[in-house]
Amino acid sequence: MNPNLLTLFKLSLILVNTLMTRGLSDADGVDLSFTQRPWLLQCNQTVLLLEMERCGEQFSSDMNHVHPEDRCNLTHFIREYHVFSFCTEMNAERIGCFWPNPSVERFIISIHKHFFSNCSLEHAAFIDPPDDTLTLLIFIPVFLTLAMVVLVVWCSKRSDLLA
C-alpha cells in the first residue's frame, strides 16, 4: 500500500472523528460567561437573600389567588411553584451562587412552613389482608421453593444416570 495513501486515510479518519465529536459535544451551547468574568463567582449572600425575598413576595402574591383549601393540592398551584423555583434558581446563578445552597434551602423551607404547614398527611393505619389472601401469599412462595428443590434434585439424579 502506498504510504501517502495510508497517511491521507489516517488524516481523513482524524477529520471525521473531530467533526463527529464536535457535533456530539454541544460545545457551541456552553455558557462561558462565568469563566470570562471570574469576579461573579463569589456568592454574595446578602444580595442572594434580597433576591430570594423578592421571589418569595411574588410567590406569596401568586398564592393569595389560590384558595386556602386548595393549597395542599399541587395541581392548583403548580405553575406558581414552578415560577418561584425558577426565580430562585436563576437569581442564585445570576448572582454567582450555587443552587440549591444552604441559604436558599432555608428560605424555601420557610416558604413551605408558611404555606404548606397544614398539608401533612395523617398516618395510614395498616391492616392485615384477609386470611385467604394471606394464606395464598404465604403458601405460593413456599410451594414454588419446594418445587424448585425437587426439580433440581430430580435433574441432578437424572444427569448422574446419563453420565
Domains in the chain and their CATH numbers?
44-118 (1.10.150.510)
The answer to whether 66 and 119 have CB atoms below 8 angstroms apart is no
Is residue 132 very low, low, confident or very high in pLDDT (cuts 50, 70, 90)?
very high
The answer to whether 71 and 119 have CB atoms below 8 angstroms apart is yes
Per-residue pLDDT at 40: 47
Residues 13-30, mean pLDDT to the nearest whole number? 63
CB neighbour list of residue 138: distance below 8 Å, 6 or more residues apart:
none
Residues 40-48, mean pLDDT to the nearest whole number? 80
Is residue 124 very low, low, confident or very high in pLDDT (cuts 50, 70, 90)?
low
